[in-house]
Amino acid sequence: MLIETHTPQEVAAQNLRRLFWLRTLMIAVFGIASLAAYAIYGIQLPMPAIFGAAALMIALNAFSWWRLSRPASTSNLELLLQLLLDMSILTGLFYATGGYTNPFVWMYLLPLTIAAVALPWRHTWLVALLAVACYSGLMFWYQPLPMMQMDMSGMSTEDMHRMHMQNGSGFSIHLLGMWAGFVVSAGVIAFFVERMGRNLREYDRLIAEAREKTLESERMLALGTLATAAAHELGTPLATMAVVAGEMADDCADRPQLAESLTLLRSQIDRCKQILTSITASAGRQRAEDGRGQALDDFLEQIILRWKDTRPATRLECRMNGSTPAPSIAVDRTLGQALTNLLDNAADASPDRIEVSGHWDSVELGLDIRDHGSGLAPDVARKAGTPFFTTKQDQGMGLGLYLARLILERFGGSVALENHSQGGTLTHVRLPLGNLLLKGKAKA
């Protein structure tokens, strides 16, 4: 199953590419409009200002093209800065070509639309307020177009006043209406279009998460199938090993040191058989068995004691504290296995000694597991928790941390690894107890 996901840098690069083509369109529109104004209406436009604005936009486009061809990642901040530069260029151009009377002043809405779709709401409202401020400033400071400079020589004061009353008032009301419409449009785009863009981005994120969860489920199903088949095949060899180990123990009864080693071997064989039994148990039956209530501190203590029996050579220093009486939780076998996997990983990195500290309240359980190994290299830290990645070479399958992460996430928890300041690795486990608590029950 192929999942197509995009990093924030890739999304920003796509938006920058769209801005590149939008700016190209704006340059073409200004060029065509200028030619039409001169050829059809004979308007003498300030060509140096128009050519200067076009040159700046072309230079900005060239820079954008160069940035898109570079391996360095782009960001939303870079997109925002380019939008602000576009608005600055537009403001200079409109100032020289009639200000708010320029029929293309609505182009302020184009950078705003890009911001509303692609940028966070704070950036969107910044662009919206800047667009309204620029438009409003152009109502008072601008260079009139030549077509608006009328020859009034020889006209009396009364005639000029009458002309102003008949023509100027209606045109001013029209321009004021254009400004009000622009303000309303800017507010609508900043509010509604930004929310629509945010919803689309959230929808894409949820779709990507759903696809990732589906892939995780498929991996778990494959692992479950393989585990069931392996359990079926390993049953006979383990039974044979148990019989042979028992016979050897009987034969070595007069050799205490060897007998002790054989006893440990038989206990490990029995543990393997218990693990295989739990794998082959049906999910519904396992849930019915595990659904019994147990105090949280007792649950953790049993996990620690059971783990110590399997790793007697590793000294474990444990410190537990929390609210009393401890909350009663619904025991889940997979949760205990997840914590055991994390303890095994720590012991593999630090066979001599590991440390466990835990704290709980009525809401959350926190566990910190520290080993005294060599710590995490940067590349290992990035890949830790992915399936079949291991640093143990031939001694591990790379599934312990991966399965622990999936199990904890199923209960709303998390696991994170970091290097300890005094050496070794520190594993943080956070587990909300809301889905595990048995209401009204606590340890007496």
pTM: 0.47
Q: At residue 365, what are phi and psi to the nearest 5 degrees?
A: -110, 130
Burial of residue 411 (CB within 10 Å: 0-12, 13-18, 19+) is middle
Q: What pLDDT does residue 188 have? A: 57
Q: What pLDDT does residue 161 have? A: 47
Listed residue (103, 83, 99, 80) closest to 91, CA to CA:
99
Please report the sign of the dihedral spanned by the C-alpha atoms of residue 398, residue 401, residue 404, residue 409. Answer: negative
pLDDT, tens only, 146-175: 654 444 445 455 554 454 444 444 455 456
The full DSSP string for 209-257 is HHHHHHHHHHHHHHHHHHHHHHHHHHHHHHHHHHHHHHHHHHHTTT-HH
- Reported for 24-33, long-range contacts at CB under 8 A and 24+ positions apart, including other chains, are 24/61, 26/57, 26/86, 26/107, 26/110, 27/54, 27/57, 27/58, 27/61, 29/104, 29/107, 30/54, 30/93, 30/104, 33/104
Residue 364 in tokens? 């959350």
Q: What pLDDT does residue 368 have? A: 92
Residues of the chain with pLDDT under 70: 1-9, 41, 71-73, 146-201, 203, 216-233, 278-292, 381-383, 385-399, 437-444
Percent of the chain with pLDDT strictly greater than 90: 5
CA Rg, the chain, in Å? Answer: 36
Q: What share of the chain is helix, strand, coil (3-state, %, to 5)?
A: 65, 10, 25
Contact 328, 437 (CB under 8 A): yes
Q: What are the beta bridge partners of residue 356?
A: 318, 369
Q: What pLDDT does residue 440 have? A: 45
